[in-house]
Structure 1
Amino acid sequence: VRAGPVGRDAGDLERGLGDRRRPEPGPGPGRHDAAPAGRDAAELAAGRPGRPGREEEEEVRGHRLHGHRPQDLHVDHRPHPRRRPLRRLRHDDRQARPAQEAAAAAPDQYTLALHKALMFFNAQRSGHLPKHNGVSWRGNSGMKDGLSDSTVKKSLVGGFYDAGDAIKFNYPMAWSMTMLSWTVIEYRAKYEAIGELDHVKEIIKWGTDYMLKTFNSSADTIDRIVAQVGVGDTSKGPMPNDHYCWMRPEDIDYKRPVIECHSCSDLAAEMAAALAAASIVFKDSKTYSDKLVHGAKALYKFGRLQRGRYSPNGSDQSLFYNSTSYWDEFVWGGAWMYFATGNTSYLTIATAPGMAKHAGAFWIGSPNYGVFTWDDKLPGSQVLLSRLRLFLSPGYPYEEILRTFHNQTDNVMCSYLPVFNSFNFTKGGLIQLNHGGPQPLQYVVNAAFLASLYADYLDTADTPGWYCGPNFYTTDVLRKFAKSQLDYILGKNPQKMSYVVGFGKKYPKRVHHRGASIPHNGVKYGCKGGFKWRESKKANPNILVGAMVAGPDKHDGFKDIRTNYNYTEPTLAANAGLVAALISLADIDTGRYSIDKNTIFSAVPPMFPTPPPPPSAWKP
């Protein structure tokens, strides 16, 4: 199934029966090269649960191995320069700015693009849409999801459609919600300043409300999760499904199967991360926040006990969003669970040396080391846990792995810089994180976000930069990289076009998207009736505002062709990365620092006992 476009047989394109999907960027960092320690290759291929006994010991025992240091970690171990005196504008400095400067403070291009990028999520909503949804050509859809499946018989109405189809994949959807929540936690003041805070929170809640329906969220212990609604495999003959047909979601009349999983550690831990991160976003709504935390605990426990990948070989989900490992989700989910609850048992899991090893943290020679994706969360986890070290420095027994992750984050940031040739760049300047493969932009925006966010972390810690071997680089270098990639996406490229629909004067007009390509004219086009719109060379009748398409090829070339999903299809996960990169770079004055340093630590107890109060003043 992996030969050719993923999830399609060779004749699908000619017959018009198939659909896309994003091929993965090749072997993930330390994920395909060898099976994780403690599992043989056959187990990994079959997606069978790992052996909790010995592995569980390995994961946590490493905390007791004092002095453990990976020998193959080629990073600079010198301490970061600290306490750089940063000049910050005082209030009277700002008052002294020339009037013409204040008048020129129009929104920058990142802010303008952000408004549009968020609208893509409105267009992807499934279920009963609110009146203020703002996408005139969308209506209620998927109103029988779950209820029409005799094996489930419960409402699964809501959530988001993944891309140009109407499948609801929990795995990338959960990652997208985690990413959006992360941005709100860090950049809440920015969202508020541009009037998008309520909007992005509503998007997150639309996703988390749906996820709470996909398992028994009121129970302490669960035994199954809904992984997917709708299927796309077209290799089994002429059976109407979300890829065999080209229909508006509102007109779908074929069966939409529900896929459940009973051993799916990766999906469970990612969903736990999504609910945990969202609980911090909604911490002022205690009842809802507590509900999210409760669900996250049940999911993470289920993932740890019932080991296995959610996408076994040959399954529908493996054709489109195949997960290569669950160890990175254990680290990622454990970190978010710790921040949401303050329970150090989650931090113990996330920082266990054995866990880091299984997740591929020490496989630095892997060609995709440091590529942050919906499948590999390790690079994001390392940045997130470096934050903990920078601002709270919890010390023993966590310091060893936190220091390692911090150094590895430095290494990843070095790898993004053109001078080191870790990744190729196109002549137009786009980094090739998937080594010249198709659909590159989803990886680019994630890297831009991590680089920009890490620069903000260092600035907030009064640290002027970081080392790449013997060379010191300032945080401005990271922002320059991030901006160069976003500028390319927004129009500064050889095609002189924006890859975000509706942004700029020139952008893709034939986006691979069923709802956008079929007129909203009151006519119901059946399973095959919509294909005339798929094959049409005319521009889409509906503008999918804010959608970032898959992107150009390795030669900076782009074909605005609806049938070629490798160029023109947007996805939920890619747009989540775009939003993250845009809000991190948006030039919005919110005070001394760009990020909110403390909110993420709201549930974390003091690292050291509170000192006793001073004695009363002496009196004779």
Structure 2
Amino acid sequence: MTSFVFWCTLLVVGVKAANNAAGGFDYGNAVDKSFLFFEAQRSGRLPFNQRVKWRADSGLRDGFPQGVDLVGGYYDAGDHVKFGLPMAFSVTMLSWGAIDFRQEIVGLKQMGHTLDAIKWGTDYFIKAHPHPNILWGQVAAWLFRATKDVYYLKYVAENAASMGGTGWAAREFSWDNKYAGVQILLSKADYMLGKNPKSVSYVVGYGQTYPVHVHHRGASIASVSVLHSSVGCLQGYDTWYRRPKANPNVIHGALVGGPTKNDNFSDDRTNFEQTEPTISASAPLVGLLSKLQSVTAGNSGPHPKVAPAPSPKSDIPVEFLHSITDTWTVGRTSYYRHKVIIRNVSQKPITDLKLRFENFSGSIWGLSPTQDKNTYALPQWLKVLKPGSECSFVYIQGGPQAEFWVQSYH
């Protein structure tokens, strides 16, 4: 099981050897987006600090017919099924990254999100084992690491083959086998983020060009807060599955299946082999990318680090509902039409609302520029945003979406 650490160690060696020639990817930004993907995959009643606003509560009666509370956990991939084994693997990889790359994750100010992501999975597993003080599983290797008792190490050594640790699938990196991970070097991480023949980032929301027809049920159907009605399974398939337009919801941080061995990639929602993301593919990236960011800090390249936006106040009276309504390509750059709904979720009318933008380089409609740079206000004809009411604006730009937050209001 230490081969995951060895895998990342090899990656770090590769980074140090090629640091001067590296592309300068902002691995820290990719880490943050990975956690957004885990939030988008949550099942159950969502917490108050949920950042992916187009998601809502789901699966609130899981297990009830059998008399067991199985609400919570993660959906495995784009088709929204809770599979125990991939979920356990994903939580294990997140935990492993937090243990071995604690300093790097803390340095990125992502330990809180890391622990939240782990706890969301472990809370579910605790409920999935309803008998007190009983937890069956192949945990001897972890017990040795925690207790230093050689009994557990001996148990692993004598039973590794029967537990699937050796002897099969040695060429695949999976929840049963980590050996193939040592074959992955720095180039593979950069490849995923856009250093490939297609110049496509296979992590959604990262870089200038990324998949927009992701095979993901929640991302490919407009939110209930936008449609104001739910979409059934048949309606979702008939109306949304083969829809040629980009997904209305951007599922940030999702690592899709990726290209063929010949670097060919088809951004097609029905091509699930290439466009479907999974939590088991994204989980190992957290520790890995955190380490890569720590050893390449200061190497800006074409993906410079962006200062984080100020933390919003907890009493902000509006929420933003973001969607991509169209996309097209000019040369090697993909452009996106973004629509953002601003909704007053407070009990009081709002006036003089001003929004601060970062990473914005396109054109905008529905907001008025102010004298302050990168700051926009509601249009002059909209004096008051009443409780429960909403307005919208549209902007077009290439690459990732802009970042914005409430700067002031009355």
Task: Report the TM range for the smaller structure's normalisation.
Answer: 0.5 to 0.7
| Number of the residue aligned with 2:42 | 125
Give yes or no for contact 2:214–2:220 (8 Å, CA) kept in 1. yes
Give the letter for the 1:136 counterpart: K
> Secondary structure at 1:345's aligned position in 2?
helix
Native 8 Å contact 1:108 1:587 kept in 2? no
Counterpart CA distance in 1 for 2:289 and 2:187 is: 12
Corresponding residue SS for 2:209? coil
Q: Which amino acid aligns with 1:195?
A: K
Aligned-partner residue type, residue 49 of structure 2? H
Residue pairs, 1:437-586, within 5 angstroms? 447=181, 450=182, 482-520=185-223, 521=226, 522-531=228-237, 532-586=239-293
Q: Which residue of 1 aligns with 2:99?
A: 185
Whether the 8 Å CA contact 1:162–1:168 is kept in 2: the answer is: yes
Alpha-carbon distance, 1:126 to partner: 0.7
> What pairs up with 1:350-361 in 2 under 5 angstroms?
350-352=156-158, 355-358=159-162
Provide the residue aligned with 1:231 in structure 2.
none
1:94-131 deviations in Å (ceiling 9; x for gaps):
xxxxxxxxxxxxx9521221111121000000111112
CA distance in 2 between counterparts of 1:490 and 1:377 reads 25
Change (3 A) 1:130 1:356: closer
Contact 1:117 1:575 in 2 (8 A): yes
1:344, distance to aligned residue in structure 2 (A): 3.2
What are the within-5 Å matches in structure 2 for residues 412-423 of structure 1?
none
Task: Write the deviation string for residues 137-158 of structure 1: whole angstroms up to 9, x where unpaired.
Answer: 00111101111x2xx2121111
Instruction: Report the equivalent of 2:304.
Output: none
CA distance in 1, matches of 2:131, 2:257: 35
Residue 144 of structure 2 is matched in structure 1 by 338
- Once residues 61 and 236 of structure 2 are traced to their aligned partners in structure 1, the CA distance between those partners, rounded to angstroms, is 22
1:512·1:569 contact (CA, 8 Å) conserved in 2?
Answer: yes
Shift of 1:587: 2.3
- Tell me the TM-score normalized by structure 2: 0.62
Equivalent runs, 1:197-208 vs 2, <5 Å:
197-208=111-122
Q: Residue 164 of structure 1 corresponds to which residue in structure 2?
A: 78
Q: What letter corresponds to residue 88 of structure 2 in structure 1? A: A
Separation in 1 of the partners of 2:41 and 2:161?
37
Please tell me whether the aligned partners of residues 190 and 588 of structure 1 are also in contact (alpha carbons under 8 angstroms): no
Shift of 1:372: 2.2
Q: Partner of 1:587: helix, strand, or coil?
A: helix
Deviation at 1:342, TM superposition (A): 3.7
Moved more, 162-171 or 572-581: 572-581
Q: Is the CA contact (8 Å cut-off) linking 1:163 and 1:571 kept in structure 2?
A: yes
Q: CA deviation at 1:490?
A: 0.5
Alignment of 1:185-264 (within 5 A): 185-220=99-134
Quick one: distance in 2 between partners of 1:362 and 1:208? Answer: 27
Hey, what does 1:377 align to over in structure 2? 177
Matched, 1:348 2:154: yes
Distance 1:335 1:485 in 2: 28
In 2, Cα distance between equivalents of 1:579 and 1:565: 24
**Structure 2: distance between partners of 1:501 and 1:111:** 15
Q: Verify the 8 A CA contact 1:162 1:572 in the aligned structure 2.
A: yes
> Quick one: structure 1 residues 589 and 495, their matched pair in 2 at CA, closer, same or farther if it must change by over 3 Å?
closer
Aligned CA distance change for structure 1 residues 362 and 144 (closer, same or farther; 3 Å): closer
Q: CA deviation at 1:371?
A: 2.8
For this pair of structures, how many residues does the alignment match?
A: 271
Residue by residue over 1:534-568, the C-alpha shift from the partner in whole angstroms, topping out at 9 and shown as x without a partner, is 11010000000000000001110000000110110
Q: What RMSD in Å do the two structures reach over aligned CA positions?
A: 2.3
Partner of 2:26: 109
Amino acid of the structure 2 residue aligned with 1:371:
E
Match of 1:142 among 56, 59, 63: 59
* Distance in 2, Cα, partners of 1:124 & 1:496: 27
Report the CA distance between 1:370 and its aligned residue. Answer: 4.7
User: The residue matched to 1:497 in structure 2 has which SS?
Assistant: coil
State the Cα deviation string for residues 35-73 of structure 1 (Å, max 9, x = none). xxxxxxxxxxxxxxxxxxxxxxxxxxxxxxxxxxxxxxx
CA contact (8 A) 2:28 2:289 kept: yes
Q: For structure 1, which runs of at least 5 residues remain unmatched after alignment?
A: 1-106, 221-297, 301-329, 380-411, 413-446, 452-480, 591-620
Taking the aligned partners of 1:360 and 1:153, their CA distance within structure 2 comes to 33
Structure 1 residues 157, 361: CA separation in 2 closer, same or farther (over 3 Å shift)?
closer
- What displacement does 1:216 show? 2.5
In structure 2, the gaps of 5 or more residues are 1-23, 298-410
Over 3 Å counting, the alpha-carbon distance change for 1:141 and 1:377 in structure 2 is: same
Cα distance in structure 1, aligned partners of 2:213 and 2:161: 44
Counterparts of 1:494 and 1:589, CA distance in 2:
23
CA distance in 1, matches of 2:141, 2:104: 24
Distance 1:201 1:360, change over 3 A: closer
Larger Rg: 1
d(CA) in 1 for partners of 2:213, 2:57? 24
Distance 1:171 1:362 in 2: 18
Report the Cα distance in structure 2 between the residues aligned to 1:371 and 1:526, rounded to whole angstroms.
37
Q: 1:358 to 1:146 in 2, by over 3 A?
A: closer
**Distance (whole Å) between structure 2 residues aligned to residue 578 and residue 553 of structure 1:** 20
Q: Which residue of 2 aligns with 1:299?
A: 136
2:45 counterpart SS class: coil
